[in-house]
C-alpha cells in the first residue's frame, strides 16, 4: 500500500529497498530554499541495523501490508516475551531484541496488544492508546508555590517518568498515553 511521505508515523513498517524497516523517529523539515522533506530513522526488522533516510514530502513510500491480531501479554522469561492469541489461544514468543525499548515498560501481565504479522511471523507490537497505572513516587507540593508550570515529576509502577498535576500523589492511579508517556487523567 503506497502512502505519502507526509503520512509516515513512528512505528510504521515500510517496505524499502526490498526489506522491512520500522520507523523509529521522524522529523519534518521545510528549509527556506527547496522543497520540504521528512528525515526518518529506520531499523531493519531482520538485521536490526539502523539508517537514516530522507524522503521528499510528495514522494510515495510502500507501507508493508501486515495482518493485525489481538494478543494478550502473558509473561517474560529471560529475553523471551510470551503472547497468547485471543482467538485460538495459541502462544508465541518474541525475543527482546525485536521489541522497541519504549514498549517494554508497558508490557505487564494481561495487557492486550496488537501484533502485526507478516507470513505468521510477528513483526511489530502496537500498544493500546492509553493504559492505567499506579503512581510509585511523586514529589510533594509546597503550598503557595506558584512559579512552577503546574506539573510535577512522578514515577509510575513500570518505572516510567511522567509529568503530572500537583494534586496527584503516590498510590493514585492515572491514565497515561503510551505514545509519549503523557498524563491524560486521574482514574475516578
pLDDT digits 0-9 by tens, 129-171: 899 999 998 887 766 655 556 888 899 998 889 999 888 888 9
Q: Where in the chain is the domain with CATH 2.40.50.140?
A: 67-126, 130-186
Q: How far is Cα 15 from Cα 64, in angstroms, rounded to an integer?
A: 5
Sheet with 37-44, side-by-side order of all strands: 2-4, 60-63, 13-16, 19-29, 37-44, 50-56
CA 62, 67, 71, 74 torsion-angle sign: negative
pTM: 0.71
For 37-65, the pLDDT digits (tens) are 899 999 888 787 889 999 988 888 888 88
Q: Shortest CA distance to 113 belongs to which of 97, 128, 91?
A: 128
Is pLDDT above 60 for 85? yes
Q: How far is Cα 62 from Cα 181, in angstroms, rounded to an integer?
A: 29
Q: Is 17 helix (H, G, I), strand (E, B) or coil?
A: coil
H-helix segments, 37-119: none
Which backbone phi and psi does 7 adopt, to 5 degrees? -90, -5
Q: Which CATH architecture has domain 67-126?
A: Beta Barrel (2.40)
Indicate the CATH number of 130-186 among 2.40.50.140, 3.30.460.10, 2.30.31.70, 3.40.50.1390.
2.40.50.140
Residue 55, strand partner residues: 38
Q: Where in the chain is the domain with CATH 2.30.30.30?
A: 2-63
Write down the pLDDT at residue 74.
Answer: 93
Is residue 151 a contact partner of residue 145, using CB atoms and an 8 Å limit?
Answer: no
Indicate the CATH number of 2-63 among 2.30.30.30, 3.30.450.90, 2.40.30.10, 2.60.120.10.
2.30.30.30
Q: How far is Cα 54 from Cα 38, in angstroms, rounded to an integer?
A: 6
Amino acid at each position: 500500500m503506497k502512502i505519502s511521505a507526509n503520512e509516515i508515523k513512528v512505528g510504521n513498517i515500510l517496505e524499502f529497498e526490498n526489506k522491512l524497516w520500522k520507523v523509529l523517529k521522524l522529523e519534518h523539515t521545510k528549509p527556506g530554499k527547496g522543497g520540504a522533506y521528512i528525515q526518518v530513522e529506520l531499523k531493519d526488522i531482520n538485521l536490526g541495523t539502523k539508517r537514516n533516510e530522507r524522503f521528499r514530502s510528495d514522494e510515495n513510500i510502500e507501507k508493508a501490508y501486515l495482518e493485525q491480531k489481538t494478543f494478550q501479554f502473558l509473561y517474560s522469561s529471560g529475553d523471551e516475551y510470551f503472547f497468547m492469541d485471543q482467538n485460538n489461544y495459541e502462544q508465541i514468543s518474541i525475543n527482546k531484541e525485536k521489541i522497541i525499548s519504549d514498549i517494554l515498560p508497558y508490557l505487564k501481565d494481561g495487557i492486550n496488544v496488537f501484533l502485526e504479522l507478516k507470513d505468521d511471523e510477528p513483526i511489530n507490537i502496537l500498544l493500546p492508546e492509553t493504559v492505567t497505572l499506579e503512581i510509585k513516587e511523586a514529589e510533594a507540593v509546597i503550598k503557595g508555590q506558584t512559579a512552577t508550570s503546574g506539573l510535577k515529576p512522578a514515577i509510575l509502577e513500570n518505572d516510567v517518568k511522567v509529568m503530572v498535576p500537583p494534586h496527584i500523589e503516590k498510590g493514585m492511579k492515572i491514565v497515561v498515553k503510551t505514545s509519549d508517556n503523557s498524563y491524560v487523567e486521574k482514574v475516578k
